[in-house]
Structure 1
Amino acid sequence: MAPSSTKRVRNTKLTRHFLIGNTAHILPHPSFPSSPPDGHTKGWTVYVRPLPNGPDITTWLKKVQFKLHHTYADASRTIEAPGPFEVTETGYGEFGVEIRLYFAPEAGEKAVYREHYLVLAPWGESKDQMERTNEVKAERLETVEFNEPTVEFFKQMTSEDQFNWLKVKKGRGKGKKPEFVFEGEVEPSTQLPEKGDGGKGGGLGSGGAWNRGFERQVVGQLREVEKVLDQSLEVERRGMEERRRKMEELGVAVAAK
């Protein structure tokens, strides 16, 4: 019989959602040193975070390596659990940050790569708000899947303890032990919530946090874009056929002379 550390739970898949992104501010800003290096006009933080109502990310993530632009001293930064998994710096230019995610040893899985393009300038529909508040935010939803996890890892990933970080301590009166309860409008879950939380989660979706409604909205937008691209490709295809026909006619006419 194989030891529990290598035994697998057959026909089972575990999925975890998380966020990769960055925030940025024009300097000076109270969150950053009053005397940044010459030419550094922005302060920023790049991060890997759990969903606002999701399980503890350290249940499966034990280390994150951020590879910054080569001009930074110690460009490769490694952050270990319990985190937070983030790097804060100052600078002036945008660049791609390579991110390597290292899983818990119990997972028995190799590290995986992601990349985030550091955004420092206000953008999109929230551009005016970002300018007013001096806070740029750019993040996206990411997913990892563990197919046929080890028995030990499966126990960790299905334990109620992974939601302890969302609980708050509540007094129960003199002489009684305090209890830890959940607060907030969005129930803790390993899945995306159906609706947002009214903006309290801090994510990018309609209503604040990432949710299924926003996910469907994004999918719908992508499908509309796909239709437009298909139409453009069809127009281009017809144009190519017309140009080819004209060239063939021209070739025939030249050959006839």
Structure 2
Amino acid sequence: MPAQTSKRVRNTQLRRHFLIGNEAHVLPHPSFPSPPPDGHTKGWKVYVRPLPNGPDMTTWLKKVQFKLHHTYTDASRMIEAPGPFEVTETGYGEFGVEIRLYFAPESGEKAVYREHYLVLAPYGSDEQKARQSRENAVVAERLETIEFNEPTLDFFRAMTGEEQFTWLKVVKKGKGKGKKAEMVFGSEVEPTAQLPERPVGGLEGGGGGLGAGGAWSRVYERQVVAQLAQSGASLEQALEHEKREMDSRRKKMEELGLAIATK
């Protein structure tokens, strides 16, 4: 474990939400070289990103290692802060990307592993697939959470400081003579290290199956929980039906065995 730079803050937990995902496009596409390499039909980007209204990731994340399929030249890619923490490539097949997250030295924490399966083909409902094909854009991402239990004092100060939200500010020109420009938050959503109550940018429910980062919110979280509860109830009904069918088959088998035995 990296050496601790300060004592730890007892009975305290820090939590950060972030996104791991990929976007993919059918080639040719303006974001990728033309002509593409022989046999390569898709251009893609795999990434680790902050939430749209969240704090600066580099407060706690200093390096990200992406391990691609072994057929890629230099399959292990290390991206250091300030990032962006992403790898852009072209190819034709889907595979699992190993991701290793390295934290700020003052955190005193070990690196952790995550994995993302590269999604290149449209997915979801027929409507969602049609939209992805029409826009030539497939986005597959998920919300991840990192928890730091009893952080070091130096790390705690960095993670609770105002400076981590500076990246969300934009320059606002002063109105009137002698008014100076100032830095203000560019979004109507209040910056927070937690999930916002409503989606950033007004997106609802995961961006229509595209996994758009702006849709991650408590509203969407409740939708997902409700969907899981509904799926769980449907599964329970299916299991109960199968149990009744199994009991009925067992009873018939027993009756058939008894009938054969008495002949």
Normalised TM-score (structure 1): 0.89
How far apart, CA to CA, are the structure 1 residues paired with 2:68 and 2:212? 31
How far apart, CA to CA, are the structure 1 residues paired with 2:212 and 2:81? 31
How far has the Cα of 1:79 moved from its partner?
A: 0.8
Per the alignment, residue 105 of structure 2 pairs with 105
Per the alignment, residue 155 of structure 1 pairs with 157
RMSD: 2.5
How far has the Cα of 1:104 moved from its partner?
A: 1.1
How far has the Cα of 1:196 moved from its partner?
A: 1.6
Count, aligned residues: 254
3-state SS, counterpart of residue 33 of structure 1: coil
Per the alignment, residue 213 of structure 1 pairs with 219
Q: 1:240 aligns with which of 228, 241, 246?
A: 246
How far has the Cα of 1:47 moved from its partner?
A: 0.4
Per the alignment, residue 140 of structure 2 pairs with 138
CA pair 174-108 structure 1, distance change in 2 beyond 3 A = farther
How far apart, CA to CA, are the structure 2 residues paired with 1:90 and 1:170? 39
3-state SS, counterpart of residue 126 of structure 1: helix
Q: Which range moves more in the overlay, 34-43 or 124-133?
A: 124-133
How far apart, CA to CA, are the structure 1 residues paired with 2:14 and 2:194? 11
Q: Does the 8 Å CA contact 1:64/1:78 hold for their aligned counterparts?
A: yes
How far has the Cα of 1:177 moved from its partner?
A: 5.8
Per the alignment, residue 196 of structure 1 pairs with 199
Q: 2:188 aligns with which of 179, 185, 189?
A: 185
Normalised TM-score (structure 2): 0.87
How far has the Cα of 1:222 moved from its partner?
A: 0.7
How far apart, CA to CA, are the structure 1 residues paired with 2:38 and 2:91? 9
1:198-247 Cα offsets, whole Å, 9 max, x none, are 3479x647994311101100110011111111122222233333334444
Per the alignment, residue 8 of structure 2 pairs with 8
Q: Does the 8 Å CA contact 1:199/1:209 hold for their aligned counterparts?
A: yes
3-state SS, counterpart of residue 86 of structure 2: strand
How far apart, CA to CA, are the structure 2 residues paired with 1:249 and 1:113? 56
How far has the Cα of 1:169 moved from its partner?
A: 2.1
Q: Which amino acid aligns with 2:183?
A: F
1:56-113 Cα offsets, whole Å, 9 max, x none, are 0111111111111121111111111111000000011111111111111111111111
CA pair 127-15 structure 1, distance change in 2 beyond 3 A = same
Q: Which range moves more in the overlay, 236-245 or 18-27?
A: 236-245
Q: Which range moves more in the overlay, 60-69 or 155-164?
A: 60-69
1:31-56 Cα offsets, whole Å, 9 max, x none, are 10112211100000000000000000
Q: Quick one: percent identity of the two aligned structures?
A: 73
Matches within 5 A, 1:11-50: 11-50=11-50
Per the alignment, residue 76 of structure 1 pairs with 76
Q: Does the 8 Å CA contact 2:96/2:118 hold for their aligned counterparts?
A: yes
Q: Does 1:227 align with 2:229?
A: no
How far has the Cα of 1:174 moved from its partner?
A: 7.3
Q: Which amino acid aligns with 1:49?
A: R
3-state SS, counterpart of residue 33 of structure 2: coil
Per the alignment, residue 89 of structure 1 pairs with 89
Q: Which range moves more in the overlay, 99-108 or 192-201?
A: 192-201
Q: Which amino acid aligns with 1:46?
A: V
CA pair 213-92 structure 1, distance change in 2 beyond 3 A = same
Q: Which amino acid aligns with 1:227?
A: A
CA pair 109-254 structure 1, distance change in 2 beyond 3 A = farther
Q: Which amino acid aligns with 1:113?
A: Y
Q: 2:166 aligns with which of 164, 167, 171?
A: 164
Q: Which range moves more in the overlay, 50-59 or 175-184?
A: 175-184
Q: Does the 8 Å CA contact 1:9/1:149 hold for their aligned counterparts?
A: yes
Q: Which amino acid aligns with 2:224?
A: V
- 5+ residue gaps, structure 2, are none
How far apart, CA to CA, are the structure 2 residues paired with 1:256 and 1:196? 70
Matches within 5 A, 1:114-133: 114-124=114-124, 125-133=127-135
3-state SS, counterpart of residue 29 of structure 2: coil
Q: Does the 8 Å CA contact 1:40/1:90 hold for their aligned counterparts?
A: yes
Q: Does the 8 Å CA contact 1:200/1:209 hold for their aligned counterparts?
A: yes
